[in-house]
Structure 1
Amino acid sequence: MNKFLTVLNFLLLTTLIILTLYVFDVIDIPFLSEQKTQEEELVQQNITPAQQEEIQKVTRSKSYDELMEKGKVYAENGLYDLAIDAYTQASQKAELNKEPLLKIASIQLLQQEYQKAKDMSAHILTIDQNSGLAKLYLGQANIGLENFPEAKNIFDSITSDDQKVQYYQGIMAVYFGEYERGRTLLEAASTKENGDEVVARNALNFVNGLNEFDRYAAGLNNHLRVLMARSFAQVGEHRLAKEVIWPVLKETREYRDAWIILGYSYLKLKQFKDAIDALEEAKQQDPEKPETLFYLGLAYAGNDEVEKAIKELEQALENGYEPKIHAEQKLAELYFLLEDYENSAEKYEEVITLNSTEIDYFVRPIWLYIEKLNKPEKAIALSEKAQLHHPDNAMSYNLLGWSQVANKDYMNGRRNLEKAISLSGNFDAPYLNMGWMYERQNNMDKAKEFYKKAFEMGNGSSTGTLAASRYNSILEKEKNNSFMVNIFN
């Protein structure tokens, strides 16, 4: 009998140890773990039901057309890696079909992965050596890689009167000094019937620059180069712009506008140190020009020299930089980086004063007043202004309700958050804020309910991630409290 009791005590002690280790997540007990609901598992893994459904779909075999459609949807939503994966799978189902490969090349160009785009375009030409689109992409990739003679040869090899072909043939002719040929091609591209409006507008930019030169500066080759460099910069061809402008500056350094164009192009290419050098040269020649100061501020910001960036941007505003809102927005972001939340909120409010038509402008300063500055009364004042300008917008009710909850006005906060939900049934933020309201009132069951809903609706957004974090935090507290109760009972 004593031996039996000893064994029984040993088993009870072992069971107690195992349960203790399970509670503290040291070990896993399958039959206990399975008691978690599927929803809890998804929240704790930060995977929404919608994402889970997508994962399950991917595991099923898809047809070529389904994969092409999936790639299109991913690309339209900026999910480029997923789009490339879908197009790659489509290509594997139809190895001699160039369409999925062309889609991949276009994404690689968009992401500025020029070597990959070049390799892909060259591969497509082994499938169809007459593909004009593959040649167009190959030429664009070579511009990105700064292989300009090769790019020109590729564009010139395309026998087509397609608008984009004419455009690229035209700008490369201009780059290599073939101005009249470039003018002819760009005039054709700018007037193409049923053509792309952006391409037409960009082509016209060069034509106007050439016409300006004819009227005012014929014979002054450096001025023509500056005009063409300006056009290259304005249409986003910054690699070509900087190469066109350099010969001018080698001949004469006293050319403020040339330094500005060069600095701006370096800035857009994210070559911030080079941008700073060029724009400081421009500033020396004209210390008051607000555009120079604005771009210089952006260059310093890109180079993580925040204090210098703020100084230049504030001076640009003082000197009358327009549009003022761009400088104010950047200053708000920079003060935020310095954790100078007062000045950041002030700048965001200045942005709203300049343009109150965008509801999104209200979100960051209200967040600052609630989360960083503990000034819910200012958040309420600003959210009331948002509602005044956006009376039927779900976000304005959400901001007002959120601010009222922060001010412990739970009755009005709940009413406005419910209004936000009624105006937009698929809006995650008011569910998050309802969860926060119930958590502040210590109603954890309701808080979890709303956090779970916000997470499901967020579909991977920052709001959904925060909802998952708060949901899991409540679960952890409940688990710890339950363990403490068991110990002391």
Structure 2
Amino acid sequence: MNKQILLKTIIFTLGLFIISGSAWVMRDAIAQMITPTQAGITTPNPNTIENVTPAKAGVPRQVSYMGRLKEARTLMNHDYFALASNEIAEALKQKPDYIEPYLILAEIYLRSGDVWKLENLILELEKRFPESQEILVIRTRQWIAARKFSEVLEIMNQSDNLPPELEFYKAVLLALQNDHTGAREILKNLQKLDVVTEAPIVSEDGLLDPYEGERVLTSDVAVKIKELSIVYEEFDNLAEGKNAHLFAEMAKVLATYNEGTLARELADTAIKEDVNYIDAWILRGYAQMLLRDYARAELDLRHAYELDPLRPETQYFLALSLYEQKKLDDAALFFEKALDYDFEFSAEVRWKLLDIFSSQQKYDQVIELYRDLLDYDTESEKFISAIHTAVDLLKEPKVALEFSTILYEQDPSDVMAANVHGWALIANEKYIEAGQILEAARIIDPQNPRTYLNLGLLFEEQNKFEDAKRYYKKCYELGKDNAEYNSVVNLAVDKYNQLIESDQRPADLAAPINPPSSP
């Protein structure tokens, strides 16, 4: 990857479409921006900025224990399991004797399917917290993930005092055995329990749990119980409800809450009840994707497509399964089909297509997608790559200015939009206007390193090299300790050092034809 590409295409994680009759509604689509790190300086120079190399990831942060856990959950819910695990590791450094970080780590291993790490973690928990019922919950979920349903039910039936979360899983397993009376009774009793509303209190003396010893539900479990109960209630109100529909609706709920194995099993049961039930095929395909079995997901979704080739949600999920297998040409084909059939969430499809076409260097199509996306989204950070593509790859600075003008006029107080617009103005040799825009951005946020980088680019473009160096150095000073600005600082360091090296050579420094990629 070119080191001047400072922001990768936005990658959307999968959001589930919830069945409502035959209509589907997307639960969420979460954008995560990833910024590449620039190359380092190979030869130290006494005149460079403090002899530094570009900033690296992992700048120390002061984050509370509870803050680490919250961030870990957020990352986990977005499928960034490695980053979530890093947060847990930091939390354990602060509070190694608390069980909560281990429980989140177990959830990470369950969702990512890391069987070996999960088993080792359970063994460690059994040593550290031998009295905790949470270990039994994790062990049970491990067995469920391994599809040992009969064994799990047999063990559950031997106890009259299961933790509430295990009671929930027992209800689901009974439903899988067509014992809906037993499942309903368990869900009804669980709904009578109180739901945890207060977080544990962290103090120097330990973790104070206001519900310690009480039989209560966590909010995560409570919502699953409520949703499954609603499924039963709505099914009872259907004049001619069929089992296939009931199992599919239950699969939908469990898939929504990342219970991939059980969702797949329920969808499979629905298919056995009615082999032509398209929703069940789609749900089983989606559950396969939750379990990261993309090849099987593709098979299920292709079958759903054969049953009804006109449903855009089928085309979308099939495209996603192909995308995850790096079958980009086929993925693009089905993403485009979803657009052709008026897929409701067309912006998400366009972001995926943009990612594919960028990797295939189809930059004309990339620009057209960005142009379409401006009708849906004007968040300036998402269009940095569009400006780079227009300026540096297609050599079409006027297109960059077209985009940046729309973004800036949407909100002139947005410092990022101002920087993007300033960059495009520099590329179009509109230096006076660029200076005005960037100076206004500097007044709004005088501590933003990005603005000083672009001011440096502006002055370098005008051969005002001393001013350019001053702004590059200021960018470095403001951003060197903030990981968010790694790429910005790296580019400022590179540019500063290039100017220093040029000063030491007899030849005059020539200004570039177009300004380099600005973050």
The two structures have a TM-score, normalised by structure 2, of 0.71
Kept in 1: contact 2:174–2:180 (CA 8 A): yes
Cα distance change on mapping 1:328 and 1:100 into 2, 3 Å: closer
The answer for the alignment partner of 1:383 in structure 2 is 404
Aligned counterparts, 1:325-404, within 5 A: 325-356=347-378, 358-404=379-425
Q: Which of 294, 298, 303 is matched with 2:325 structurally?
A: 303
Aligned counterparts, 1:58-207, within 5 A: 68=65, 72=69, 75=72, 79-90=83-94, 98=99, 101-102=102-103, 104-105=105-106, 108-109=109-110, 113-149=114-150, 159=161, 164=165, 167-187=168-188, 194-195=195-196, 199-207=221-229
Kept in 2: contact 1:68–1:100 (CA 8 A): no
Relative contact order, CA 8 A, sep 6+: which one is greater?
2
How far is the alpha carbon of 1:268 from its aligned partner?
Answer: 3.2
Kept in 1: contact 2:357–2:365 (CA 8 A): yes
1:279-312: per-residue Cα shift (whole Å, max 9, x none)? 1111111111111111112222222222222221
When structure 1 is superposed on structure 2, of 72-81 and 265-274 the one drifting more is 72-81
Partner amino acid, structure 2, of 1:342 = D
* Partner Cα distance (1:107, 1:324) in 2: 30
The structure with more helix, counted as a fraction of residues: 1
How far is the alpha carbon of 1:211 from its aligned partner?
Answer: 2.6
Kept in 1: contact 2:294–2:321 (CA 8 A): yes
Consecutive unaligned residues of structure 2, counting only runs of 5 or more, are 1-41, 76-82, 197-217, 508-519
1:389-447: per-residue Cα shift (whole Å, max 9, x none)? 22322222122111111112122212212222332344333233223223323344443
**Percent pairwise identity:** 22
* Partner Cα distance (2:480, 2:152) in 1: 44
Kept in 1: contact 2:381–2:417 (CA 8 A): no
The answer for the alignment partner of 1:10 in structure 2 is none
Kept in 1: contact 2:315–2:337 (CA 8 A): yes
The answer for the alignment partner of 1:216 in structure 2 is 238
* Partner Cα distance (1:372, 1:155) in 2: 62
1:214-236: per-residue Cα shift (whole Å, max 9, x none)? 33376843343333223322332
Does residue 41 (structure 1) correspond to residue 63 (structure 2)? The answer is no
Consecutive unaligned residues of structure 1, counting only runs of 5 or more, are 1-23, 26-32, 58-65
How far is the alpha carbon of 1:317 from its aligned partner?
Answer: 1.6
How far is the alpha carbon of 1:366 from its aligned partner?
Answer: 2.8
Kept in 2: contact 1:452–1:468 (CA 8 A): no
When structure 1 is superposed on structure 2, of 284-293 and 385-394 the one drifting more is 385-394
Cα distance change on mapping 1:183 and 1:484 into 2, 3 Å: farther
Cα distance change on mapping 1:291 and 1:190 into 2, 3 Å: farther
The CA RMSD over aligned residues, in Å, is 3.8
Kept in 2: contact 1:283–1:292 (CA 8 A): yes
1:196-247: per-residue Cα shift (whole Å, max 9, x none)? 6654443333223223333337684334333322332233222222222334
How far is the alpha carbon of 1:267 from its aligned partner?
Answer: 2.8
When structure 1 is superposed on structure 2, of 130-139 and 342-351 the one drifting more is 130-139
* Partner Cα distance (2:482, 2:455) in 1: 19
* Partner Cα distance (2:293, 2:254) in 1: 17
The answer for the alignment partner of 1:433 in structure 2 is 454
Cα distance change on mapping 1:85 and 1:252 into 2, 3 Å: closer
Kept in 2: contact 1:279–1:295 (CA 8 A): yes
Cα distance change on mapping 1:452 and 1:152 into 2, 3 Å: farther
Partner amino acid, structure 1, of 2:316 = F
Partner amino acid, structure 2, of 1:282 = A
| 3-state SS of 1:299 partner | helix
* Partner Cα distance (1:135, 1:185) in 2: 19
| Number of residue pairs matched by the alignment | 436
* Partner Cα distance (1:474, 1:266) in 2: 50
Cα distance change on mapping 1:248 and 1:305 into 2, 3 Å: same
* Partner Cα distance (2:298, 2:84) in 1: 32
Kept in 2: contact 1:74–1:82 (CA 8 A): no
Kept in 2: contact 1:114–1:144 (CA 8 A): no
* Partner Cα distance (1:238, 1:72) in 2: 23
Q: Which of 229, 232, 257 is matched with 1:235 structurally?
A: 257
Partner amino acid, structure 2, of 1:371 = D
The answer for the alignment partner of 2:9 in structure 1 is none
Does residue 472 (structure 1) correspond to residue 482 (structure 2)? The answer is no
Cα distance change on mapping 1:359 and 1:186 into 2, 3 Å: farther
* Partner Cα distance (1:366, 1:34) in 2: 32
